[in-house]
Amino acid sequence: MKRSVGLKELLSGYSILYVEDEEIVRETLKDILLRKIDNIYTAENGKIGLELYKEKNPDIVITDIRMPIMDGITMSKEIKKLNPDTQIIITTAHNELDILLDTIDIGITQYLIKPIRSKQLISSLEKVADILNLKKNIDRKNKFIQNILNFQDNIILVTNGNKINTYNKAFLDFFGFQNIDEFTENYKSICEFFIEEESFFSKPKNENENWINIIIRDKIREPKVKMKNRYSKERIFIIKFANFPEIENEYIISFTDVTDLENQRLTFKTLAYRDPLTKINNRLKLDIVLEKEIDIAQKKAISLSLIMFDIDHFKDVNDTYGHDIGDSVLIELTNLIGDKLRDTDMFARWGGEEFMIVLPNSNSKLATEIAERLKDSIQIFNFTGVNRITCSFGVSELKADDSYRTFLKRVDDALYRAKSNGRNRVEEL
Q: In angstroms, what is the C-alpha Rg of the chain?
A: 28
Which one is catalytic: 20, 353, 397, 428? 353
| Residue 353 known to be catalytic | yes
Cα gap 302→221, rounded to integer Å: 39
161 close to 211: Cβ distance less than 8 angstroms: yes
Cα gap 298→398, rounded to integer Å: 9
369 close to 393: Cβ distance less than 8 angstroms: no
First CA to last CA distance, the chain: 67
Q: Reduced to 3 states, what is the DSSP secondary structure of residue 4?
A: coil
* Residue 186 neighbours by CB under 8 Å, 6+ apart: none
Cα gap 124→113, rounded to integer Å: 11
Pairing outcome for strands 87-92 and 60-64: parallel
**Crossing angle of helices 404-420 and 283-300, rounded to 10°:** 110
DSSP state of 116: P
Distances from the Cα of 73 to the Cα of 90, 268, 343, angstroms: 9, 16, 37
Write b or e for each residue in 146-157: b if 16 or more Cβ atoms lie within 10 A of its Cβ, otherwise e.
eebbebbebbbb
Cα gap 334→339, rounded to integer Å: 8
Return the closest-CA partner of residue 309 out of 234, 409, 416. 416
Cα gap 97→102, rounded to integer Å: 9
Cα gap 302→50, rounded to integer Å: 51
* Residue 286 neighbours by CB under 8 Å, 6+ apart: 346, 348, 350, 356, 358
DSSP state of 383: B
Question: H-helix or E-strand containing 216?
Answer: helix 211-217
415 close to 427: Cβ distance less than 8 angstroms: yes
Catalytic (active-site) positions: 353
